[in-house]
Amino acid sequence: MNQVQKLLIIGFVWPEPNSSAAGGRMMQLISLFKEQGFSITFVSPAQDSDFMVDLEKCGVDKKSIELNNSSFDVFIKELNPTVVLFDRFMMEEQFGWRVAENCPDALRLLDTEDLHCLRLARQKAFKEKRPFNTTDLFLEDVAKREIASILRCDLSLMISEFEMELLESVFKIDKNLLYYLPFLLEPIDIVEIHELPSFEERKNFIFIGNFLHEPNWNAVQYLKETIWALIKKQLPEAILHIYGAYPSQKVLQLHNNKEGFLIMGRAIDAQDVVKNSRVVLAPLRFGAGIKGKLLEAMQCGTPSVTTFIGSESMHDDLPWNGFVVDSVADFTDAAVRLCQDKTIWLKAQQNGITIINQRYLKELFKDDFAKKVKMLQSDLQKHRLTNFMGAMLQHHTLNSTKYMSRWIEVKNK
């Protein structure tokens, strides 16, 4: 194609790579498209935050947009992007119809982050004290919205192979609408391994995670109420540092010096605090996607103890970076063993580095992704013709969401 390739990213929030895995993921996608020579504009209806990345320093144009405002139509017509990337399905719901109407030839991509309906259905099953079943997904209104959004887009980027299989088997989504693109990392070489703090130089347990994310808050409650006292019984001198952006008052109230349960708040440098910790604890009881905190632990050479939900779709058949267990007794035992046994700890560290180098290298995915984008652009109409459900949903969305949005715009005036 001869025209300048322009990517428009419509962000749910401004990227905060030091606050959440989602922010890091977005910066990886930006890097991927920049390497392909795209001119990139990032827009969002969200308020600026103190911790957002400086996009303009990264060579990305930044612009604030409004919900339910036709000024977006004028903006996108003038920009005339060749590719539009929606950051989570909520942005496709709000702006997808405007993109389709004003730039019908633009390739529409959706970055799902994780399947929201899966996370919410699992959370509901957990709170109702019953096992999760895939049929629970059909009861979630979010599933209807999220699947409709996936169908309306030309391609959805998935970070979890498990979730791709779920979409194909449970919701019967055509696999041509889905593309596996996990977190994209740089390799860890032997020199970097030797530069990491040693077993002896590290101390303490750590949990890290954004507290706006419900699974993280629940995991910290689980540690406080059930697990930590059992670890402390075996390791009386042990300390657990809880780090995370946006802690609420109920999180801060868990701080207890006597128990060695310390709420540290936002980490100025997340990798630094993880690198200097001996073991990451992540007893996640519900959730979806792949867990940025556990990949970060591997990058930092820090073994982890997590649950089967925590490790889901992250390591294939490769041995875990520590232990994957679901019972309280097993979790406690694994945490103590990793903290005390250097041999087990070093083996776990090596397992994590192997997982990074075999499953998450940017080099493994970037060329194929570039080819996929070009292939879709070269025959976009044919691709859309095979997606009748998407075309039908797009038709009805244009007629319903469009007029609702116009009504809200008039009402706001």
| Percentage of the chain lying above the pLDDT 70 cut | 98
As a whole number, the mean pLDDT across the chain is 94
In a domain, 53, yes or no: yes
> What's the helix, strand, coil split of the chain in %, to 5?
50, 15, 35
pLDDT band at 142 (very low <50, low <70, confident <90, very high): very high
Residues 348, 199: one domain? yes
What is the pLDDT at residue 399?
Answer: 67
Whether residues 301 and 173 share a domain: the answer is: no
Rg of the chain taking only CA atoms, in angstroms: 22
Q: How far apart are CA 314 and CA 295, in angstroms?
A: 9
Could you tell me if 166 and 36 lie in one domain? yes
Which range of residues forms the domain containing residue 67?
6-184+362-412
- Give the amino acid at 233: K
Helix 342-359 and helix 328-340, axial crossing angle in degrees, nearest 10: 100
Claim to verify: residue 247 and residue 391 sit in the same structural domain: no
Query: Which pLDDT score is estimated for 394?
Result: 85
What is the average pLDDT across 66-91?
96
Please state whether beta strands 61-64 and 83-87 pair in parallel, antiparallel, or not at all (unpaired): unpaired
Residues 170 and 218 in one domain: no
| Mean pLDDT computed over 332-348 | 98
* Three-state secondary structure call for residue 51: coil
Q: What tokens appear for 12 in the block?
A: 């749910």
Measured between alpha carbons, how far is residue 191 from residues 187, 300, 406 in Å? 11, 13, 58
Q: What is the mean pLDDT of residues 63-86?
A: 96
Give the domain CATH number at 133: 3.40.50.2000
Residue 398 has pLDDT above 80, yes or no: no
**Residue 188: is its pLDDT beyond 50?**
yes
What is the per-residue pLDDT for 106?
Answer: 98
pTM over 0.85: yes
Gap between the Cα atoms of 215 and 283, Å rounded? 9
Residue 179 sits in the same domain as residue 64: yes
Question: What are the distances in angstroms from CA 200 to CA 5, 169, 278, 306?
Answer: 51, 47, 9, 23
Structural domain includes residue 377: yes
Band (pLDDT 50/70/90 cuts) for residue 396 is confident
pLDDT digits (tens, 9 = 90+) for 24-46: 999 999 999 999 999 999 999 99
HSE-up (13 A, CA, CB side) for residue 260? 17
Q: How far apart are alpha carbons 26 and 113 in whole angstroms?
A: 9
Judge if 63 and 161 occupy the same domain: yes
Note whether 110 and 156 are within 8 A (CB).
yes
Kindly tell me if the per-residue pLDDT of 406 is higher than 80. no
- pLDDT tens figures, 199-226: 999 999 999 999 999 999 999 999 999 9
Task: Domain count for the chain, please give it.
Answer: 2
Q: How would you list the strands of the sheet with 155-158, edge to edge? A: 61-64, 39-44, 6-10, 83-87, 107-111, 155-158, 178-180
**Is 151 in contact with 325 (CB distance < 8 Å)?**
no
Q: Which helix (H) or strand (E) holds 221?
A: helix 214-222
Q: Are 10 and 148 in a shared domain?
A: yes
User: Is residue 95 predicted with pLDDT exceeding 50?
Assistant: yes
| pLDDT confidence of residue 408 | 78
Amino acid of residue 315: H
Q: What pLDDT is stored for residue 1 in this prediction? A: 43
Return the ∠ at Cα 241 (arms to 236 and 246), rounded to 5°: 150
Question: 165 and 24, same structural domain?
Answer: yes
C-alpha to C-alpha distance for 378 and 411, rounded to whole angstroms: 41
Distance, CA of 327 to CA of 227 (rounded, Å) = 10
